[in-house]
Amino acid sequence: MTKTANVEPATLSLAVSNDPVENTAYITDFSNDDPAELRSIYRMMLLTRRFEERTGEMYTKAKIGGYCHLNLGEEATVVGLMSALKPEDYIFTNYREHGYILARGVEPGRIMAELFGKDTGVSRGRGGSMHLFDIERHFMGGYAIVGGQIPLATGVAFALRYHEQPGVVICQMGDGTTNIGAWHESLNMAKLYKLPIIFYVVNNGYGMGLKVENGSAEPELYRKGCAFRMHGERVNGKDPIAVRNAVQRLRLMAQDDGEPAILEAVSYRFRGHSVVDPARYRDEEEVRRGREDDPVLRFAQNLLDAGILTDEIMKTMAEAIEQEVAAAIDFANSSPDPQIEDLFTYMYASPVANMPGPEDALEAARIARGEF
Amino acid sequence: MPVITYRQALNETLRQEMHRDPNVMLMGEEIGVFEGSYKVTAGLLQEFGAKRVLDTPIAEEGFVGMAAGAAMIGLRPVVEIMTINFSLLAIDQMVNHAAKIHYMFGGQAKVPMVLRTPGGGGVQLAATHSQNFEVWYAYVPGLKVVAPSTPHDARGLLRSAIRDDDPVVFLENLALYNTKGDVPDEADDGDYTIPIGKATIARAGSDLTLIAYSRMAVLAMDIARRLEAEEGLSIEVIDLRSLRPLDRPTIIESVKKTGRAVVIEEGWLTYGIGAEIAATIQEHAFDYLDAPVKRVAGVEVPLPYAKVLERAALPNDKHLIKAIREALYGTRS
């Protein structure tokens, strides 16, 4: 006999929970902040916005292949986090990661070139949109298997602890990822071994189309660490300063006290799951409200009100960013494709007998040219 | 030359490598306090402490991924999965992550980890605890897979695997742990390694090439010796040692010489290692063949518990001798 549970799905408010972090308002008191840093946060949010808008455009022009997921609407969630990190920190992300690697200081041209599949791309054209990487800046990869990055990030935190090195690991993921086994296994080990890691959950309300509360029996995701006695907080992901402040605090706990934590940033994506998703599963009113509260515009207004930005600075900044993104597209366009002769390059780090080599790649290149 | 068991060879090699390189550390279920389900890690917790011999929770995907991540910034974890059956819980981390990271990110990060795990059946552990999934890993570009059959090879290949900068699946076998064999004296060649990607001609012969790895290589050697003594047959035995990369040239050269080939594996027949080797032989040595390539493998059934059924399902000396006779004298119908 089948019993149907008569339970209404809990509705998840996009407003910030009062418990355990009481902070529903946007931070507008910037008296303790360096104005230059605030301007640089705004600048990076704007760069992310423009980079992503143009990326969507390039996708529709078929310059970009495969899947492509944008950070539009999540600029504060992205830049707030990244502005709190130190050079010695490491970051792992999911496949919606363009903004994170931009904010880590990687040249936009090399990122766009990767999206275009060029040899000058950050992953040398082997990864694409979902697999951006930069070892020098400790950007440890976008990962496209949901949850795949969680054990790996936990491993880097383990190695930091093993070598008693400073720094923490950020493991970024979406809300739906907190339902996967790797999440539970990794949280358990992170707490067990006192690893310096923050599990950064971007809750934009939906997996692809599945609402958070229809996928997670505990829809307040920051509470999901309770089985591991792990600290969790929820923060307004539309406020870069709230996010930054929370990360700075949790970062110190993780690094100095070996206390890993969950930080849930409540956010909203302006478009569908990926560039090709029309997002018909969201009702119009919700999307209107979500977009109306635009994190880039709101932060700009708050900085204008505080006298930290002026219309003139904003105008100059916007023009410079327009050019920067245009230059990135030009760089990607004019960059060379990878050589077929390098098909097997990077397959193994230690060469061994009988692995495919340059001769096999030459053969592949000849066949590709129809020379057989 | 000292005679030691396969288990001892592994245990001593782990100890030596941990002394040689502080980045080498062990993790896995019950490898510390319990000293390993099959005691391969006996004594290592006492010697190196809990930092370097890490007892993990039962979370294969979690700790295999943790090892891969730690390897990305320079640790060299040697992970034990209690048996290869449980490695399926971690296969996403091995196949979608460890195998891809170096290539997919344009060579920026290496994953120098070893996944040690025993396969094999024959001790009434039934369907879920007696399987051979090495072919699943051998299928994947980006992984290396080795499968030593003797204490000598276990030592040399484990050293190579630990010192290699790529993820290596190191296949052991439940029935091999207590087998004994010669290893060189410490003073003589104490630090020898065996190259990954190379097979060895374990026994030279001229009538037929018999190809095997892991426990089936031990059986192959026994049968080759027996058939020489009893029937005067000269059987060349190739021990593959590595399943990826596969040493095709050694196989092809041998078959060109003998004109006949039998391949044996403990796993299932369909899509197996034997299928790959038979295909390789017909592609590269077709004109040299005097008979079809024969494959010996496990019967395609979830391995049953009852002794009589288990024996009938696993490849043994009788299956092998039958295949050798058919390759030499044709099929009697």
| Whole-number pLDDT of residue A11 | 37
Secondary structure of B91-156 in the HEC alphabet? HHHHHHHHCCHHHHCCCCCCCCCEEEEEECCCCCCCCCCCCCCHHHHHCCECEEEECCCCHHHHHH
Q: Number of structural domains, chain B?
A: 2
Number of Cβ within 10 Å of residue A25's Cβ equals 10
| Whole-number pLDDT of residue B227 | 98
**Is residue B194 assigned to a domain?**
no
Better pLDDT: A300 or A272: A300
Which residue, B146, B169, B189, sits at the end of a domain? B189
pLDDT value at A7 more than 50: no
Give me the mean pLDDT over the A341-370 stretch: 95
Q: Say how far apart CA B235 and CA B254 lie, in whole Å.
A: 11
H-assigned helices in chain A: 35-60, 75-82, 98-103, 108-115, 149-162, 181-192, 212-215, 240-257, 284-292, 295-305, 311-334, 358-368
pLDDT value at A3 more than 90: no
Question: Quick one: tokens of B62?
Answer: 């979690």
DSSP B259: S
Q: Say how far apart CA A230 and CA A222 lie, in whole Å.
A: 9
Shortest alpha-carbon distance between residue B71 and chain A (Å): 8
- Nearest-CB residue to A126 (from B66, B96, B106): B106
**Does B57 sit behind a cis peptide bond, omega within 30 degrees of 0 on the bond before it?**
no
Query: Are B117 and B169 within 8 A, CB to CB?
Result: yes
Contacts of A155 in chain B (CB under 8 A): 65-72
| Cβ pair B245:A158 closer than 8 A | no
Annotated catalytic, B129? Answer: yes
Looking at this protein, which amino acid is placed at residue A54? R
| Whole-number pLDDT of residue B117 | 98
What pTM was computed for the model? 0.95
In this prediction, residue A289 has a pLDDT band, given cuts at 50, 70 and 90, of: confident
| Whole-number pLDDT of residue A16 | 40
pLDDT value at B286 more than 50: yes
Residue A260 in contact with partner chain B when CB distance is under 8 A = no
| Whole-number pLDDT of residue B275 | 98
Q: List the single best residue of B26, B86, B91, B105 to mutate versus A (max A Cβ within 10 A).
A: B105
Containing structural domain, residue B74: 3-189
- Check whether residue B94 and residue B181 sit in a common domain: yes
Q: Say how far apart CA A174 and CA A371 lie, in whole Å.
A: 47
Q: What is the mean pLDDT of chain B?
A: 96
Residue A355 in contact with partner chain B when CB distance is under 8 A = yes
Minimum CA–CA partner of B198 in chain A: A353
**What CATH class is the domain A35-274+284-338?**
alpha beta
pLDDT value at A13 more than 80: no
The domain limits of chain A are 35-274+284-338, 340-372
Residue with the two structure tokens 């597209």 = A329
Residue with the two structure tokens 């000292």 = B2
Q: Say how far apart CA A192 and CA A172 lie, in whole Å.
A: 20
Question: Quick one: tokens of A43?
Answer: 């600048």
- Check whether residue B251 and residue B308 sit in a common domain: yes
Residue A117 in contact with partner chain B when CB distance is under 8 A = no
Annotated catalytic, B152? Answer: no
Minimum CA–CA partner of B58 in chain A: A185
- Check whether residue B13 and residue B139 sit in a common domain: yes
The active-site residue out of B17, B29, B60, B236 is B60
pLDDT value at A18 more than 50: no
In this prediction, residue B174 has a pLDDT band, given cuts at 50, 70 and 90, of: very high
| Whole-number pLDDT of residue A110 | 98
pLDDT digits (tens, 9 = 90+) for B94-115: 999 999 999 999 999 999 999 9
pLDDT value at A330 more than 50: yes
| Whole-number pLDDT of residue B332 | 57
Give me the mean pLDDT over the A141-165 stretch: 98
Nearest C-alpha neighbor of B126 from the set B312, B316, B307, B319:
B307
In this prediction, residue A19 has a pLDDT band, given cuts at 50, 70 and 90, of: very low
In this prediction, residue B190 has a pLDDT band, given cuts at 50, 70 and 90, of: confident
**Is residue B82 assigned to a domain?**
yes
Shortest alpha-carbon distance between residue B286 and chain A (Å): 21
pLDDT value at A315 more than 90: yes
Residue A362 in contact with partner chain B when CB distance is under 8 A = no
Give me the mean pLDDT over the A224-228 stretch: 97
Q: Say how far apart CA A336 and CA B30 lie, in whole Å.
A: 51
Percent of chain A with pLDDT over 90: 86
Beta bridge partners of B182: B3
Shortest alpha-carbon distance between residue A183 and chain B (Å): 8
Residue B305 in contact with partner chain A when CB distance is under 8 A = no
| Whole-number pLDDT of residue A24 | 55
DSSP B64: H
In this prediction, residue A52 has a pLDDT band, given cuts at 50, 70 and 90, of: very high
Residue B159 in contact with partner chain A when CB distance is under 8 A = no
Q: Say how far apart CA B88 and CA A189 lie, in whole Å.
A: 20
Which residues 63-92 of B have a C-beta within 8 angstroms of A? 63-75, 92
- Check whether residue B110 and residue B256 sit in a common domain: no
pLDDT value at A5 more than 90: no
Q: What is the mean pLDDT of chain A?
A: 93
- Check whether residue B81 and residue B119 sit in a common domain: yes
Q: Say how far apart CA B311 and CA B318 lie, in whole Å.
A: 11
Which residue, B189, B216, B247, sits at the end of a domain? B189
Nearest C-alpha neighbor of A146 from the set A183, A111, A113, A115:
A183
Q: Concatenated DSSP letters for B214-241?
A: HHHHHHHHHHHHHHHHHH---EEEEE--
Residue A126 in contact with partner chain B when CB distance is under 8 A = yes
pLDDT digits (tens, 9 = 90+) for A29-38: 999 999 999 9
**Is residue B63 assigned to a domain?**
yes
- Nearest-CB residue to B61 (from A185, A346, A356): A185
* CATH number of the CATH domain containing B234: 3.40.50.920
- Check whether residue B262 and residue B306 sit in a common domain: yes
**Is residue B195 assigned to a domain?**
no
- Check whether residue B185 and residue B220 sit in a common domain: no
Shortest alpha-carbon distance between residue A185 and chain B (Å): 5
Percent of chain B with pLDDT over 70: 98
- Check whether residue B261 and residue B298 sit in a common domain: yes
